[in-house]
Amino acid sequence: MQHPAFEEVTIHHEHTDDATFKKKVRKTTILLSVITVIELGIGLLIYTMHKGENPNELLVLMFKGMVCILTLAKAYYIVSVFMHLGDEIRNMIMTIVVPLLLFIWFITAFIWDGNSYKNLRNTYDKHFQETTMPAKHQHKEETKPVEKPAGKE
């Protein structure tokens, strides 16, 4: 179909016939739904692990990493199939994708910073550590006493 109002557009995308299009949309919908279901499954798995006595922190972290990767896969399908970014010319795709690469540094730096702030506070601010550390991570022999003095005055 020609777009008379947009003469600056040189190559018009050839639109696929209905059958191919419907097939592609159906495939992507099923794919997104299946990934979401898997994510939910992992979410519930993490929940049951947390309920257990001694959750394996490394395994929980691995599952969380898997959910992150699955989410990126979902994002890829939404952008490339639903938003048709994959059909545009390369230069245009790059002006969108390359700036977003900043996120790699952005996420690493800020998460690192948050973690470092926690470690520094736990080292130098014992009050912070005592009041916020969950009881099960504290020394096993002393069960956390209620803060009697605080409430009484």
Work out whether 95 is an interface residue with another protein (CB under 8 A): yes
User: CB 32: neighbour CB atoms within 10 A?
Assistant: 16
Q: What is the total count of residues that contact another protein (CB under 8 A)?
A: 76
Instruction: Give the nearest distance from C-beta 95 to another protein in angstroms.
Output: 8
Instruction: Give the nearest distance from C-beta 34 to another protein in angstroms.
Output: 11
Applying the rule CB under 8 A, the residues between 33 and 92 that interact with another protein are 33, 36, 39-40, 42-44, 46-47, 50, 64, 67-68, 71, 74-75, 78-79, 82-83, 85, 88-92
E strands in 1-152: none
- Asked if residues 70 and 39 have their Cβ atoms less than 8 Å apart, the reply is yes
For 32, the token pair is 């997104």
Work out whether 140 is an interface residue with another protein (CB under 8 A): no
State which amino acid sits at residue 39: E
Environment class of residue 52 by beta-carbon count within 10 Å: exposed (0-12), middle (13-18) or buried (19+)?
exposed
Work out whether 6 is an interface residue with another protein (CB under 8 A): yes
Query: C-alpha angle 39/41/46, rounded to 5°?
Result: 95
Work out whether 111 is an interface residue with another protein (CB under 8 A): yes
Instruction: Give the nearest distance from C-beta 74 to another protein in angstroms.
Output: 5
List the one residue from 101, 134, 140, 141 that touches another protein (CB under 8 A): 134
